[in-house]
Amino acid sequence: MKKQPLPYLMYRSLWYALDLLFPPLCGGCDKLGSRWCADCQRSVITLSGIVCDVCGLPQDVAGVCDACRADRPHFRALRAWAVFDTSLQRALHKLKYKRDISMGDALAAQMTDFAQGLNWRADILVPIPLGKQRLKERGYNQVGMIAKPLAMALNMQYAPRGLTRCKETRSQVGLSKRERKENINGAFQAWKGVSGKNVIVFDDVSTTGSTLSSSADALLSAGAKEVYALTVARALPHHGLKHA
């Protein structure tokens, strides 16, 4: 692990202090004493092995998969830290639906080594934004709660307003790949500050990659040099895939 930047160490110290004052429950199993216990950390299935150079889905041979050759996404590469399953799925749902924002720091800490190992030369990390109505209902963007400490750990500029939604979209859950692409098409507008920069666009879970591709298109249209896509987890069953 690389030496951690001082602002990130200070940020983590604040969470450690809160943990001492208010002993947390594990996001994966509700065990008292840790936000992300050792057992749940060990249960995470990381995405290793051969993956498509572009979309990051597991495959048998190196290179670009048939789907990406036929319809290449706008991002240069998409990578996910782990499989959207078991304790990780519960932890993400706790952050997203049960207002446990402490899970953002806990998950960012776990995937920092993976993100550093990608060796992407990026300048700015941009979270996928919520629509205005959903943000009003939830009160925070769960993606940003992970993206902010991750950007600090990677010593990158964090741009929470690097993308905005210029149209409200319905939930992507239950939609086919074609429906997801149509639903999210033209949904984003990018900040002009990304011009000339290499950008990582970040989301909590990727399924088909349609949201990330649409956001990458907006960033490139605003002048970004390269756009990479990074997520905490990848939903493999949607593609008929399982991870060994």
**CATH number of domain containing 141:** 3.40.50
* 138 or 3, higher pLDDT: 138
Does a structural domain hold residue 244? no
Average per-residue pLDDT in the chain?
Answer: 91
Distance CA 147, CA 126 (A): 8
Please state the rounded mean pLDDT for residues 42-47. Answer: 94
Please state the rounded mean pLDDT for residues 198-225. Answer: 96
- Which tokens is 149 given? 């400490």
pLDDT at position 241, please? 57
Helices 86-97 and 142-153: angle between axes, nearest 10 degrees: 110
Does a structural domain hold residue 1? no
Does a structural domain hold residue 151? yes
Pick from 197, 124, 115: nearest CA to 159: 124
Q: How many helices (H) and strands (E) does the chain have?
A: 9, 7
Does a structural domain hold residue 170? yes
Q: Does residue 68 surpass a pLDDT of 90?
A: yes
pLDDT at position 244, please? 45
Number of domains in the chain: 1
pLDDT at position 114, please? 97
Q: Does residue 196 surpass a pLDDT of 80?
A: yes
* Residue percentage of the chain with pLDDT more than 70: 89
Contact 130, 159 (CB under 8 A): no
Does a structural domain hold residue 36? yes
Distance CA 118, CA 231 (A): 12
Phi/psi for 159 (5° steps) reads -120, 85
Host domain of residue 25? 6-239
Q: Does residue 37 surpass a pLDDT of 80?
A: yes
Q: Which residues are bridge partners to 23 per DSSP?
A: none
pLDDT at position 238, please? 53
- Which tokens is 180 given? 């997801």
